[in-house]
């Protein structure tokens, strides 16, 4: 069973405009139109059984609505294969009660995205969210490292992740993009002993430009080297690596085939493709 732990969808009414805005900011090519229907089609083509939708609250006022929508999406997981996390924003006033409501709704986790939320990951506002998530057994998946659309917002470094873990009760924490996008040397040095999970999204292969004339360099197009990816898998242990694509920004079929081609054991592949995520999500 393959589980994609890192995907994004948007409500049908705003999906096209949202994808257009994000691809213009990041200069990258989308592989779906950002709707749940398109994600489900992509999943079937790639042989993916489940995908986790990760909504981002870019302002506090979005939090409650996003979490209500996540619960509605999860009512149809048996049809679509898509299950949704909720969201939290560091400036949401009633964060304590709202996280309790997320758990009561049966939503399995929350997504955080410090670059889009304007705070550093080791800020007290995030620490209290991590603490409460730990009490409730909610999985936390955070963007980690730089963001292709906000290259100057360096708000989730491996140093910050390490400090945050040391200061909080331990919620299951998944750090996207193999622990820190384009900060992989520091991930390798600072995070192996922390117990965090890494997802594989947008970390190996190449960036796919959207053809808008942005002057990509060869270095910028290339992501993590295969040797470093394999070293991280072996250093952290395959039990802490989860398959993710960042759809619509990564092609799911391409990502599945890319991982299958790597010199990983059958057991390592089974854990990364779905076993670890199934255990974390209770599937």
Beta sheet of 50-53, edge-to-edge order: 3-7, 50-53, 82-84
> In the prediction, which pLDDT does 186 show?
98
Mean pLDDT of the chain: 97
Q: What is residue 239's predicted lDDT score, i.e. its pLDDT?
A: 98
pTM strictly above 0.75: yes
**pLDDT digit string (tens) for 106-159?**
999 999 999 999 999 999 999 999 999 999 999 999 999 999 999 889 999 999
The pLDDT of residue 170: 73
Task: Give the pLDDT confidence score for residue 171 in this predicted structure.
Answer: 80
Which one, of 79, 51, 58, lies nearest residue 14 by Cα? 58
User: What pLDDT score does 29 carry?
Assistant: 96
Give the chain's residues under pLDDT 70: none
DSSP annotation string for 174-217: EETTTTSBT-HHHHHHHSTTS--EEE-TT-BSB--B-SS-----
> In the chain, where are the structural domains located?
3-281
Residue 164: φ, ψ to 5°: -65, -40
Query: What is the end-to-end Cα distance of the chain in Å, rounded?
Result: 11
Phi, psi of 7 (to 5 degrees): -135, 165
Q: Angle formed by the axes of helices 158-166 and 124-136, to 10°?
A: 60
Residues in the chain: 283
Task: Assign a CATH topology to domain 3-281.
Answer: TIM Barrel (3.20.20)
Greatest distance between any 2 Cα atoms in the chain:
48
Question: Cβ of 35: how many Cβ atoms within 10 Å?
Answer: 18
């Amino acid at each position: 069973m393959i589980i994609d732990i890192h995907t994004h969808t948007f409500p049908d009414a705003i999906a096209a405009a949202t994808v257009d805005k994000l691809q213009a900011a990041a200069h990258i090519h989308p592989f779906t139109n950002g709707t749940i229907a398109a994600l489900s089609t992509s999943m079937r083509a790639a042989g993916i059984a489940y995908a986790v939708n990760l909504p981002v609250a870019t302002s506090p006022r979005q939090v409650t609505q996003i979490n209500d929508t996540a619960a509605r999406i999860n009512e149809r997981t048996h049809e679509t294969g898509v299950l949704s996390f909720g969201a939290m924003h560091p400036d949401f006033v009633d964060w304590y009660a709202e996280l309790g409501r997320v758990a009561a709704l049966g939503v399995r986790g929350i997504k955080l995205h410090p670059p889009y939320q304007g705070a550093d990951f080791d800020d007290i506002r995030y620490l209290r969210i991590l603490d409460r998530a730990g009490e409730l057994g909610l999985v936390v998946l955070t963007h980690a490292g730089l963001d292709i659309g906000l290259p100057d917002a360096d708000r989730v470094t491996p140093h910050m992740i390490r400090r945050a873990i040391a200061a909080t009760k331990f919620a299951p924490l998944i750090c996207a993009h193999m622990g820190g996008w384009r900060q992989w040397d520091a991930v390798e040095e600072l995070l192996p002993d922390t117990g965090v999970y890494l997802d594989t999204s947008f970390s190996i292969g190449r960036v796919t430009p959207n053809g808008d004339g942005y002057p990509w360099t060869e270095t910028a197009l290339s992501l993590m080297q295969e040797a470093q990816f394999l070293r991280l898998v072996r250093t952290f242990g395959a039990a802490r690596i989860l398959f993710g694509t960042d759809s619509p920004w990564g092609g799911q079929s391409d990502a599945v085939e890319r991982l299958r081609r790597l010199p990983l054991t059958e057991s390592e592949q089974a854990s990364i493709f779905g076993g670890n995520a199934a255990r974390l999500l209770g599937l």
